[in-house]
Amino acid sequence: MGCCGLCCALCCCGAICDKANVKTEYARVPYAGLFFLSILLAVILRNNQTSFGFALFGDIELEACGSDCQSDQAVFRVCLAMTLFFAANFLAVVALPASAAVDFHSGYFGWKFLVFIPLLVGMFFIEQDRMDEFAMAARVFSILFLVIQAVAIIDTAYRVHYWMVDKEQAGWDIANLSVSTALYVASIISIGFMFSWFTEGGPCHVQKFILSTVLLIPIFYTAFAITSVVEHGSLFVSATITAYGVYVTFGALSSDPSETCNSFIDSSRSADTWEIVLGIAFVAISITYIAYNMGESSSNIFGKQGDEEEDEKNAVAGASVPDSKDPESEGDNGGGGVVAKGTGLSDEELDKQKINAVIFHLLMTLASMYTCMLLTRWTSLDYSNRDGRYLSEESMWIQATSVWLILALYSWTLVAPVMFPDRDFS
């Protein structure tokens, strides 16, 4: 029933957003909705332990979907459908002229969703070996998405910090400092607990090394960030990155299959449920942020602040609205470039929106692969042990590496402007 409901939701979403184009800035919302519903379907099938079938008459039943609709195999198939869908949109936007590409990206959602549903169903008729090959490819390309996600997290932390600072009010300064202090206290306490949970059962040298790096590296970059040497240094950003690193480290160590070091293996599996829910919520938030911000040409690791963003918006608005009194305004925007007929946008703006759409669909393609790995915990292809599927060295090392990656990238944002003062990092 849950799967049928999701299919109906997809159809309704497609009917609402049929051919009529929506504003470009809101065009990503239907794609995000499709992505969310697909993740929900993958989670339902991942925890499914029964076969789907239909009762014909008497004791005769027709099995519609067996093991392919269960466990990790179901996740692979849903994620492959998402990957192919967004990859097809990516290729279409790349191939079409700018005006047609923007029109395609921001419209025809009804047809797109109607194509996605049979594509999704068709994935369940593909052999398992092909799904295993997709899983291996997803592991490789997911690393690239982890890099992009790390940049997005750092960018978000900087933007929130500057947003509070730009208020120029004592209350916001106090809130900034209070949140920073709370994040640091929570991180230190959590690391202390993790030393107890993941290192006291034996030597556990690897676990101690991972926890030590997550403890020591933030100390160095926090001390560096609050000095006068780093003009853009921020205690809030340092605290946010540290807290995120601690959270991912817990996920990494709880994935450790070592019964000697991982004290959660013998406990109830209820911890896995909330941990996975938090992981899914986090990836949904991060993907939404990336979809709305990483495609913008002005988006960078620090972002534009204050008057720069306002000036850019005014410039775009001035170039986009033709003079209604000038009959020639349909083809000329008064020196700002040729305006495409029927769009009100100059060729330059259309090219910019096309690039943003290309980047968006590329990121969503990578995000589909990353979601596949997130839901299956980067495990080896063994579905016989349901509880063991939550534990793997692959999951532990991938997550630990992602922590070191984001700590290194943030450290670089502090060091780079000092090492290269002649370059503009703003």
- Digitized pLDDT (tens) for each residue of the chain, 426 residues in all: 445 544 554 455 444 444 445 566 678 888 888 888 888 888 777 766 565 554 555 555 545 555 556 677 888 889 999 999 999 999 999 999 988 988 898 888 888 989 999 999 888 888 878 888 888 888 888 888 888 888 888 888 898 999 998 988 889 989 999 999 999 999 999 999 999 989 887 888 999 999 999 999 999 999 999 888 888 888 999 999 999 999 889 988 888 888 888 887 765 444 455 555 665 666 566 655 665 555 443 344 334 444 444 444 454 454 444 444 444 444 454 444 454 554 566 778 888 888 888 888 998 899 899 888 888 877 654 444 445 555 778 778 888 998 999 999 999 999 988 888 777 665
Distances (CA, A) of 399 to 18, 205, 217, 279, 298: 40, 17, 17, 12, 30
116 touches 10 (CB < 8 A): yes
Task: Select from 378, 368, 380 the least CA-distant residue to 252.
Answer: 378
pTM value is: 0.71
Per DSSP, the three-state class of 179 is helix
The encoded tokens of residue 331 equal 């083809």
Which residues make Cβ contacts (< 8 Å) with residue 148, sequence separation at least 6? 290, 294, 363, 366
Instruction: Classify residue 346 by its DSSP letter.
Output: B
> What 3 state SS string does 360-426 have?
HHHHHHHHHHHHHHHHHCCCCCCCCCCCHHHCCHHHHHHHHHHHHHHHHHHHHHHHHHHHCCCCCCC
Q: Which residues is 55 bridged to in the sheet?
A: 61
The answer to whether 111 touches 19, Cβ cutoff 8 Å, is: yes
Compute how many other C-beta atoms are within 10 angstroms of the C-beta atom of residue 278: 12
Of 77, 55, 83, the residue nearest 3 (C-alpha): 77
DSSP SS3 for 193: helix
Q: What's phi and psi for 314, nearest 5 deg?
A: -65, -40
Q: Are 321 and 173 a contacting pair, CB within 8 Å?
A: no
Beta strand 60-65 with 52-57 is antiparallel
- Asked if 113 and 11 count as a contact pair (C-beta separation under 8 A), the reply is yes
Task: State the amino acid at position 136 in one-letter form.
Answer: M
Residue 220 confidence (pLDDT) = 94
